[in-house]
Structure 1
């Protein structure tokens, strides 16, 4: 497996220069014939989309969504309103595509973007579906996003435990998606930017094979995004690779003593 490339970008927050670095990868896994996941990782937007639907539907849905969001970065318009407008367009693209024949066609979407206002900046996590954003801060891993799924609703209602959710027959049933129907806006979580933070953005193909502890283990073992991404992917495939596996790692370092760079 070729080593994943790590990209970097510098940003100034409150007169302090920070270095963002990231790497992402997607793999079809061992049991799927096609890869219905898509991802986009370029400053300031990092997202994963996990498609679903018969024939080529899932791949169309995830790629259509990512393509619309990629255009925002190219236009320099990344923000909550622009993202929702882009997702509305993606819904139209999915519905109009000649190969979208399955009423269940759609995609999850999750990720983070950096919202900059003058010298201030903060992360905004967004989520539709059951793909996830995790944050490792002060050596503690937390799930930032909340799954839009039947089992999460059962957990919230106290009807099942998180442990019971893993083997639940409805574990793959999500309650919100970007698809050929009216769009529901993403959930947003605002996160202050701190040196040392590391985000893991992933489809459920990773979390089916790695526990939260496993994710934290590989972050501890590898201090930069590329090797950490490669190690998590290898572990997910070794543990079964039952689904497409996609993940991005983004981290924040102090670069006040380094030259400002931006990798293309």
Structure 2
């Protein structure tokens, strides 16, 4: 028997900022969940995130699950190329000081398997049997430093380059880098998609504790981040299989 799926989703500008540059999409009929985070400090970040989500939203319900993943890649590559060109044009006309870029995390579920696509430092986690597993790997300067053994993981949060990402949709002149991870869906899995405003405010233990409580976990996570005065936009989608 295929597990049933339910989700909750919440987004907030945070405790400091007035503008919310995060965007999200939930299409349970497709098993599709997305968060895009307009690149910090970029004028046009909000528009970039909105265009990423709009591009993905056009995916057809008629596609088979295997075809959806390929279609998602094509849609994201098309948005990337469009943002790169529009960003260059606006910089030349001085409408923008910097380019238009956004992170993205995508979760695609079917009856038996899940697939994650991502670029940037928004994340997807899986809570399974009490263990919180980070399914994505940040595309960021500090993550590269951690991977190279130059700093410890605990030093990354307060690092002066903590907000610098190395890959994003709309950034750079080259092709889009999208990483992928796939796995089997199990009953009672709980997936969390979130922007970095959440993970830079709550540690893994706090995230796990909220996810284990159930209920409207997305709202509870955002509320917890706001209580700690989250300095960035905070967005969370929690998808549960029962």
Q: TM-score when scaled to structure 1?
A: 0.81
Partner of 2:201: 209
Partner of 2:57: 70
* 1:109-128 alignment runs, 5 A limit: 109-115=104-110, 121-128=112-119
Deviation at 1:103, TM superposition (A): 3.3
Tell me whether 1:17 sits opposite 2:2 in the alignment.
yes
- Residues in 2 aligned to 1:32 and 1:189: alpha-carbon distance in whole angstroms: 32
- Residues in 2 aligned to 1:235 and 1:80: alpha-carbon distance in whole angstroms: 33
- Residues in 2 aligned to 1:103 and 1:182: alpha-carbon distance in whole angstroms: 17
Partner of 2:21: 36
Q: Provide structure 2 residue ranges, at least 5 long, that are not aligned to the other structure.
A: none
Tell me whether 1:138 sits opposite 2:123 in the alignment.
no
- Residues in 2 aligned to 1:54 and 1:144: alpha-carbon distance in whole angstroms: 26
Deviation at 1:75, TM superposition (A): 5.7
Q: 1:75 to 1:202 in 2, by over 3 A?
A: same
Q: Note if contact 1:137-1:196 (Cα within 8 Å) is conserved in structure 2.
A: yes
Q: Secondary structure at the match of 1:72?
A: coil
Q: 2:79 aligns with which of 50, 74, 90?
A: 90
Q: 1:166 aligns with which of 144, 147, 157?
A: 157
Q: Secondary structure at the match of 2:7?
A: strand
Q: 1:129 aligns with which of 103, 106, 120?
A: 120
Tell me whether 1:45 sits opposite 2:40 in the alignment.
no
Deviation at 1:207, TM superposition (A): 0.8
Tell me whether 1:108 sits opposite 2:103 in the alignment.
yes
Q: Note if contact 1:51-1:59 (Cα within 8 Å) is conserved in structure 2.
A: yes
Deviation at 1:18, TM superposition (A): 1.7
Q: 2:46 aligns with which of 50, 59, 64?
A: 59
Q: Secondary structure at the match of 1:179?
A: coil
Q: CA RMSD in A?
A: 2.0
Q: Note if contact 1:54-1:105 (Cα within 8 Å) is conserved in structure 2.
A: no
Q: Note if contact 2:8-2:239 (Cα within 8 Å) is conserved in structure 1.
A: yes
Q: TM-score when scaled to structure 2?
A: 0.88
Partner of 1:257: none
* 1:171-186 alignment runs, 5 A limit: 171-179=162-170, 181-186=173-178
Deviation at 1:23, TM superposition (A): 1.2
Deviation at 1:182, TM superposition (A): 3.4
Q: Secondary structure at the match of 1:249?
A: strand
Partner of 2:181: 189
Q: Note if contact 1:149-1:176 (Cα within 8 Å) is conserved in structure 2.
A: yes
Q: Deviations over 1:160-206 (max 9, x none)?
A: 00111111111111110001543323110011010010001000010
Number of aligned positions between the proteins: 231
Q: 1:79 aligns with which of 54, 65, 68?
A: 68
- Residues in 1 aligned to 2:60 and 2:48: alpha-carbon distance in whole angstroms: 19
Q: Note if contact 1:111-1:126 (Cα within 8 Å) is conserved in structure 2.
A: yes
Deviation at 1:53, TM superposition (A): 5.8
Deviation at 1:51, TM superposition (A): 0.4
